[in-house]
Amino acid sequence: MADAEARHVIEIGYGGNERLVMNMGPQHPSAHGVFRAILTLEGETVVAVDAVIGYLHRCHEKLAETLTYVQYPSIASKTDYVSAMTAELAYVAAVEKVGQIGVPKRAQYLRVLVAELQRIASHCLWLGTWCLDMGGALGGGATIFLYAIRERELILDLFEALTGARLLYGFHQVGGVRYDLPAGWPERCRQTVDLVDRRLDEYEAMLDDNAFFRVRTQGVGVISRELALDVGVCGPLIRGSGVAYDVRRTEPYSSYGDFDFKVPVETAGDCYARYRVRMVEFRESIKIVRQVLDGLPAGPISSRPGVKSVGQVRIPKGEGYTRVEGARGELGCYVVADGSAKPYRLKWRGASFSNLSILPHIIPGHKVADVVAIMGSVDPVFGEVDR
């Protein structure tokens, strides 16, 4: 737990001097995973929050040292399991950077395609669970949750037709991707994406101008621009606070430079701003998907032959770090290779791990009900946090 000096405790002068220490424990319907927040309350107002993580630690980084470069990509998808394609991409891109392995153009476009589809699916889950937390399992939140999951299922159906799996794909391999598009898939993808576009209008009609929603999210959890830059959050959190930082723009990887898309930025810094950022990201991802499908080149999907043995990929000595723009922010992977088929060391930079460090700064001063709104807008996935 945080030591006394580092805790951010605010004084309210409530009058009633009794402080209640309440545990929003690891088992909680709105903890977004396994997350423990020890809240110190004065009445309904939170004055301090101690975040306890580590309930989902599965030794990914040690596991990567025992698995080869061929075996680990399917495991990498289990860090950010909601947005598995970008997690695999981070690992595979890091290995390719260290080993200086080229990726054919078609494979790069396919990687962009699945990453953007995955971003749409991940944001669907974010929207659904956030509204579920705010609106209740028996209430309007559940309605939006089921609509969002209905759309997410369509995208998962696309992934199922492409790879055979719905959540954890194993789609990437070092040097390219494992699966090519089946017959009829581009058409289906276009139809799905058009449908999601239309349904997004419905969600915005339900939420955008809704006074109940606005009053829950506007002015709540404000991250100022300076605070965002100081603490080092990433992804929609920092874009909602006025900093136009998107790894796809600052350090284009996997041919993102070929596509025309906007990076949404809002200045308010509250939950509503982050909501708007993600809703625009939906549309931009749909735009990118359409551009990829229009311009997909023919060619091989991997610069290396298909995997025939476990030690097939050997990376010479070196180290390197790649970052990708996951749905939650900047997901980074640092690989130290030593010439064998297994990495010497792997380090994940989890986007949600860095994003969670903003919580002690923005939660104190809000009410208990705002804690769930803020947690939802931060959108952590604890596979990334605890690895």
Partner 1 sequence: MGETWDLVTAVGRAMGVTFRNFLRRPVTVRYPTVKRVYPDRFRGILALTYDGETGEENCIGCRLCEYICPPQVIKVEMLKAEKRNFAKTFTLELYACEFCELCVQVCPTDAIIMLKTFDVATADRRELLLDKDRLHALGLQHEPSWATGNRLRDMQAPPKPARAETGKTEAKEPAE
Partner 2 sequence: MSPLLHHALVGFIVLNVVIGMVTYVTLLERKFAARMQSRIGPYYVGPHGLLQPIADALKLMMKEDVVPAAADRWVYNLAPLAFLVPCVLIFATIPFAPGLGVADLNIGVLFFLAVSSLEIVGLFMGGWGSNNKYALLSAMRAVNQIISYDLPFIFAALVPVVLRGAFGWFVGAYGVLGPLAFVAFLVATLAAENRVPFDILEAESELVAGFRVEYSGMKFALIQLAEYAHMIATSFLGALLFLGGWLGPGPAALGPVWFLLKAMLIFLVVTWVRWSFVRIRVDQILAISWKLLLPATLVLLMVTAFVVAARGAGGS
Chain positions 80 to 119 lying near partner 1, rule: CB under 8 A, are 104
154 near partner 2 (CB under 8 A): no
Which one of 71, 83, 285, 322 is in contact with partner 1 (CB under 8 A)?
71
Minimum distance between the CB of residue 43 and partner 2, rounded to whole angstroms?
9
Instruction: In whole angstroms, give the CA distance from residue 135 to residue 141.
Output: 4
Question: Which residue, 41 or 237, is less far from partner 2 as judged by CB?
Answer: 41
What torsion do the CA atoms of 107, 109, 114, 120 make, to the nearest 10 degrees?
170
Question: Which residue, 173 or 377, is less far from partner 2 as judged by CB?
Answer: 377
Which one of 35, 72, 109, 147 is in contact with partner 2 (CB under 8 A)?
147
Minimum distance between the CB of residue 72 and partner 1, rounded to whole angstroms?
8
Minimum distance between the CB of residue 136 and partner 2, rounded to whole angstroms?
5
**What is the 3 state secondary structure string of 196-224?**
HHHHHHHHHHHHCCCHHHHHHHCCCCCCC
Which one of 184, 198, 260, 294 is in contact with partner 1 (CB under 8 A)?
184
Instruction: In whole angstroms, give the CA distance from residue 180 to residue 159.
Output: 11
142 near partner 2 (CB under 8 A): yes
Chain positions 226 to 265 lying near partner 2, rule: CB under 8 A, are none
Binder of residue 142, out of partner 1, partner 2, none (CB less than 5 to 8 A by kind): partner 2
Which one of 106, 111, 152, 216 is in contact with partner 2 (CB under 8 A)?
216
Binder of residue 165, out of partner 2, partner 1, none (CB less than 5 to 8 A by kind): partner 1
Which residues make up the interface to partner 1 (CB under 8 A)? 67, 70-72, 74-75, 104, 140, 143, 147, 150, 153, 157, 160-165, 168, 170, 173, 176-184, 202, 205-207, 209-211, 298-310
Q: Which residues sit at the interface with partner 2, rule CB under 8 A?
A: 20, 22, 24, 28-30, 44, 131-144, 146-147, 150, 206, 210, 212-213, 215-216, 367-372
